[in-house]
C-alpha cells in the first residue's frame, strides 16, 4: 500500500464499516421501538403486501362482529318478549279453562273475561316494548334483520361486461332472521271478539255481516257461528246454504219517527250486538232491506251496520273457543321461541368463530411482520460493541498518516 496523505484507504474502509454498523443499529433500535421487523414496503415488499391484505380482513371482521352483536341483542330482546308472552298465554289458558266450566255464575264469568282481556292487553304491551335500537321483530312490522358472518363479496356481472354495476355485488355470508307478529291480532286472539276455529280453515272475526253472508254455504262456519250465539234465530240453519232471517230483530223507529233516517234494527249474533241504522218505514221494510242487501254480490242499500262485542266469556262455548285460540297461540309462540333460539345459537357460533378467525389472522400478521425482540436484543448488544470497535478502528486509521512524518526526519 502506498503512503499518501491525500487518500487514507484504511480510514475509508473503517468508516464504511462503521456506517454499515450504525445502519444496522438503527434498524435494530427501530424494531425494538416498534416491535415490527417489517414497517413499510421498503423493508419487505412481499410480506408487507400480504400483511396489509390480512389487516384489511381483520378490520372487516371487526365490522362483522359489530353486526353480529347488534343482531344478537335484537334477538335476545325478542326471546325475552316471546318467553313473557308464552307465560301470559299459560295464564290465559288457565283462565279460559275456568270460564269453560258451565257451572260457574255470570259474575265469575265476567271476572274471568276481564282477567282474560287484561292479559291480552299485557301481551300487546310486551310486544310494543320489545325493541333494541329501534328494531322490533315481534311486532306487526315483521322486520327482517340480517347479520354479517363474513367479508366475502359475490359479484354477478349481469351484463357480462366485466364492469360491476350497482346491484351486481353483494355480501355472500349473511344470516337472515324474519320477524314474527306476536301481538294478539297476529296470534289470532282478539279482545272481545269471536273467531271461527283456525283448525277448520278460518280466522275470521264475526264483526261484519258481510263476512257472515259470504260464508253461509259452509256448514262448519255456520255451526260454529250459531254455537257462539244466535238467540233471535237471525241465521236460519234450516236452509242450505244457511240464510238470514231478521224477523227476530228488534226495531226502533227512532226519536223523529219512521222514515226519518234514524231507525234502527238491532240483534245479537256470534257474540256481537249488531245495530243497523237507516231510513226504514217499519220493521218489515228494514228486514226486507237487509235481506235484499245481503242477497246481492255488492250491497247497495243505504244503511250502515255497526257492532258492539259481547264479553269474551259470555258463555262456556265462547270460553271453549277461546281455549282453542289460546292453545293455537301458545303453539305459535313456542314455535317462534324455538326459531329465535336457533337463530341466537347460530349468531353465537358465528360470533365465536369470527373472533377466533380474527385472532388467527392477527397471529398470522404477527408471524410476517413482528420482530423477535429476544433476537433483536442480542443483536443490539453485538452491534453496540461493533460500533465501539469501529470507532476505535477509525481512530487508528486516522492516525496512520502521522507515520509519514518519520520519513522526513520528524
pLDDT tens digits, residue range 192-220? 444 433 333 334 445 567 667 777 777 76
162 part of a folded domain = yes
Number of domains the chain is built from: 3
Is residue 229 domain-shared with residue 278, that is, in the same domain? yes
Cell numbers given for 241: 246454504
How remote is the C-alpha of 112 from its chain's centroid? 36
Task: State the DSSP string of 9-35.
Answer: HHHHHHHHHHHHHHHHHHHHHHHHHHS
pLDDT (0 to 100) of residue 322:
82
Q: What is the mean pLDDT of residues 133-152?
A: 86
Average pLDDT, the chain: 79
pLDDT tens digits, residue range 329-369? 999 999 999 999 999 999 999 999 988 988 888 898 888 88
Distance CA 322, CA 304 (A): 29
pLDDT tens digits, residue range 243-267? 888 888 888 887 777 778 788 888 8
pLDDT (0 to 100) of residue 271:
64
Is residue 382 domain-shared with residue 355, that is, in the same domain? no
Cell numbers given for 80: 325475552
Is residue 382 domain-shared with residue 344, that is, in the same domain? no
pTM exceeding the 0.75 threshold for the entire prediction? no
286 part of a folded domain = yes
Per the structure, the complete domain to which residue 383 belongs is given by: 9-35+371-408
Distance CA 266, CA 274 (A): 6
Sequence-distant (6+) residues with CB within 8 A of 173 are 148, 149, 150, 151, 152
Within 10 angstroms of residue 209's Cβ, the number of other Cβ atoms is 21
Share of the chain above pLDDT 70, in %: 81
Phi, psi torsion values for 177, nearest 5 degrees: -125, 120
Distance CA 131, CA 342 (A): 19
pLDDT (0 to 100) of residue 356:
92
Amino acid at each position: 500500500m502506498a503512503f499518501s496523505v491525500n487518500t487514507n484507504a484504511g480510514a475509508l474502509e473503517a468508516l464504511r464499516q462503521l456506517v454499515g454498523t450504525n445502519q444496522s443499529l438503527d434498524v435494530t433500535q427501530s424494531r425494538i421501538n416498534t416491535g415490527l421487523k417489517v414497517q413499510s414496503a421498503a423493508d419487505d415488499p412481499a410480506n408487507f403486501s400480504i400483511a396489509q391484505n390480512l389487516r384489511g380482513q381483520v378490520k372487516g371482521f371487526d365490522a362483522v362482529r359489530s353486526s353480529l352483536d347488534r343482531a344478537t341483542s335484537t334477538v335476545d330482546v325478542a326471546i325475552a318478549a316471546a318467553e313473557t308472552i308464552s307465560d301470559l298465554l299459560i295464564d290465559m289458558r288457565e283462565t279460559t279453562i275456568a270460564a269453560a266450566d258451565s257451572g260457574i255464575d255470570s259474575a265469575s264469568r265476567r271476572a274471568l273475561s276481564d282477567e282474560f282481556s287484561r292479559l291480552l292487553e299485557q301481551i300487546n304491551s310486551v310486544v310494543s316494548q320489545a325493541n333494541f335500537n329501534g328494531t322490533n321483530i315481534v311486532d306487526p312490522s315483521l322486520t327482517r334483520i340480517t347479520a354479517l358472518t363474513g367479508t366475502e363479496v359475490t359479484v354477478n356481472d349481469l351484463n357480462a361486461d366485466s364492469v360491476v354495476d350497482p346491484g351486481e355485488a353483494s355480501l355472500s355470508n349473511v344470516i337472515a332472521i324474519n320477524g314474527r307478529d306476536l301481538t294478539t291480532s297476529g296470534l289470532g286472539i282478539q279482545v272481545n271478539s269471536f273467531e271461527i276455529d283456525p283448525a277448520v280453515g278460518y280466522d275470521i272475526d264475526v264483526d261484519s255481516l258481510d263476512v257472515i253472508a259470504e260464508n253461509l254455504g259452509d256448514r262448519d262456519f255456520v255451526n260454529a257461528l250459531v254455537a257462539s250465539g244466535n238467540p233471535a234465530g237471525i241465521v236460519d240453519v234450516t236452509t242450505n246454504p244457511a240464510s238470514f232471517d231478521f224477523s227476530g230483530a228488534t226495531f226502533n223507529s227512532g226519536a223523529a219517527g219512521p222514515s226519518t233516517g234514524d231507525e234502527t234494527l238491532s240483534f245479537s249474533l256470534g257474540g256481537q250486538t249488531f245495530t243497523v241504522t237507516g231510513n226504514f218505514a217499519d220493521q218489515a221494510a228494514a228486514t226486507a232491506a237487509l235481506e235484499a242487501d245481503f242477497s246481492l254480490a255488492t250491497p247497495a242499500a243505504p244503511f250502515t251496520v255497526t257492532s258492539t262485542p259481547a264479553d269474551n266469556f259470555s258463555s262456556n262455548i265462547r270460553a271453549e273457543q277461546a281455549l282453542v285460540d289460546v292453545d293455537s297461540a301458545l303453539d305459535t309462540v313456542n314455535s317462534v321461541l324455538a326459531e329465535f333460539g336457533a337463530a341466537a345459537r347460530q349468531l353465537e357460533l358465528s360470533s365465536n368463530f369470527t373472533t377466533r378467525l380474527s385472532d388467527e389472522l392477527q397471529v398470522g400478521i404477527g408471524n410476517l411482520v413482528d420482530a423477535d425482540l429476544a433476537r433483536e436484543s442480542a443483536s443490539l448488544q453485538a452491534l453496540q460493541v461493533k460500533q465501539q470497535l469501529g470507532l476505535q478502528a477509525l481512530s487508528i486509521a486516522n492516525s496512520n498518516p502521522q507515520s509519514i512524518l518519520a520519513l522526513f526526519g520528524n
